[in-house]
Amino acid sequence: MLAFVARRLLLMIPTLWIIATVTFFLIHAAPGGPFLAEKDIPKEAQAALNARYGLDQPLHVQYGRYLAGVARLDFGPSYKYPARQVREIILEALPVSLTLGGCALLVAVLIGVPLGVIAAARQNTAVDYAAMSVALLGVSIPNFVLGPLLVLTFSLSLFWFPPALWHGARYGVLPVITLSAIYTAYIARLTRGGMLDVLGQDYIRTARAKGLREWRVVFGHGLKPGILPVVSFLGPATAGIVTGAIAVEAIFAVPGLGSQLRSAAFNRDYTLVLGIVLFYALALMVLNLIVDVAYTRLDPRVQLG
């Protein structure tokens, strides 16, 4: 286990370097620059700004200096907010995005797994068809469509929840529902499929033949192996929630990392874009590592290689 974790951690270093390199040259290749405003500023002032931030240097020099800073965990100042460091902006927005993504993933698991288990236990009944119809509906509606529909219904018509911003628990209800809907549906379908495979095994029939109650057979003997597909899906689901949060944060004006990344991309804030992208990449790799380790704990047949 320790050797596997150490090897994966070491592999993160070249992966992060590749991501940093590709992102660096892509953002610099985009038209415009951090100091090109709608109203032109004097060329002397623009030259002074470029010299101050090193943007007048050749691209390979800027690249080398940036990598040296990243190695020290120093992403430099933001071009849009010159008085603030990129690290400060990330740490300020991180709790919001972490709360939104964590709640969305928790809701998806807490609703999706029971829904899939109930559908599998009542296979080919009205309960099964209703549960899978709800799951199909969740898969079919993207979050950039579901979000405005929820705002129109529950904010502008029924006045139950605030339509935007992030100032308390009530402000997070609609963003969390929007972000978790599609993953709730996927988890429900995966749980149903996994449970159906497990409930047809010989040891399940043996447990039933011994006279065990159905709920004990399902939850005591079938649930742990039945949710293995869900555990495998949690890695990609986490990545999807992270990227999907960018659109959801834009819809609901949530001041998280997604909003900061979108604003930085529009403003050509090179350092902030690179810092957030690298942070996202590192977080996703760590989460995938945790999922892989957890999978081996649930299924002893799987060995780390």
260-298 pLDDT, tens digit each: 888 888 888 889 999 999 988 888 888 888 877 777 766
Q: Are residues 147 and 280 in the same domain?
A: yes
Domain end position, chosen among 37, 71, 105: 71
Q: Are residues 109 and 188 in the same domain?
A: yes
Q: Report pLDDT digits (tens) over 29-59.
A: 887 778 766 556 777 777 887 888 888 888 8
Q: Are residues 108 and 236 in the same domain?
A: yes
Residues 287, 241 contacting (CB under 8 angstroms): no
Q: Are residues 149 and 197 in the same domain?
A: yes
Q: Are residues 141 and 249 in the same domain?
A: yes
Residue 76, domain member (yes or no): no
Q: Kindly report the CATH number assigned to the domain that includes residue 132.
A: 1.10.3720.10
Higher pLDDT, 301 or 15: 15
Number of domains in the chain: 2
Q: Are residues 139 and 27 in the same domain?
A: no
Residue 84, domain member (yes or no): no
Q: Residues 6 or more apart from 55 whose CB is under 8 A from it?
A: 33, 34, 49, 62
Q: Is pLDDT above 70 for 300?
A: no
Residue 232, domain member (yes or no): yes
Domain end position, chosen among 36, 71, 106: 71
- Structural domain that includes position 161: 93-298
Residue 79, domain member (yes or no): no
Q: Are residues 105 and 35 in the same domain?
A: no
Residue 265, domain member (yes or no): yes
* Cα gap 294→275, rounded to integer Å: 29
Q: Are residues 116 and 58 in the same domain?
A: no
Q: Are residues 34 and 105 in the same domain?
A: no
Q: Identify the pLDDT of residue 40.
A: 66
What are residue 242's phi and psi, to 5 degrees? -65, -45
| pTM of the predicted structure, to 2 decimals | 0.81
Q: Are residues 35 and 129 in the same domain?
A: no
What 3 state SS string does the chain have? CHHHHHHHHHHHHHHHHHHHHHHHHHHHHCCCCCCCCCCCCCHHHHHHHHHHCCCCCCHHHHHHHHHHHHHCCCCCECCCCCCCEHHHHHHHHHHHHHHHHHHHHHHHHHHHHHHHHHHHHCCCCHHHHHHHHHHHHHHHCCHHHHHHHHHHHHHCCCCCCCCCCCCCHHHHHHHHHHHHHHHHHHHHHHHHHHHHHHHCCHHHHHHHHCCCCHHHHHHHHHHHHHCHHHHHHHHHHHHHHHHHHHHHHHHHCCCCHHHHHHHHHHCCCHHHHHHHHHHHHHHHHHHHHHHHHHHHHHCCCCCCC
Q: Report pLDDT digits (tens) over 161-213.
A: 999 888 888 999 999 999 999 999 999 999 998 888 888 787 777 877 877 77
Q: Are residues 181 and 287 in the same domain?
A: yes
Residue 303, domain member (yes or no): no
Q: Identify the pLDDT of residue 120.
A: 87
* Cα gap 2→84, rounded to integer Å: 38
* Cα gap 180→11, rounded to integer Å: 31
Residue 304, domain member (yes or no): no
Q: Identify the pLDDT of residue 304.
A: 58
Q: Are residues 235 and 103 in the same domain?
A: yes
Residue 140, domain member (yes or no): yes
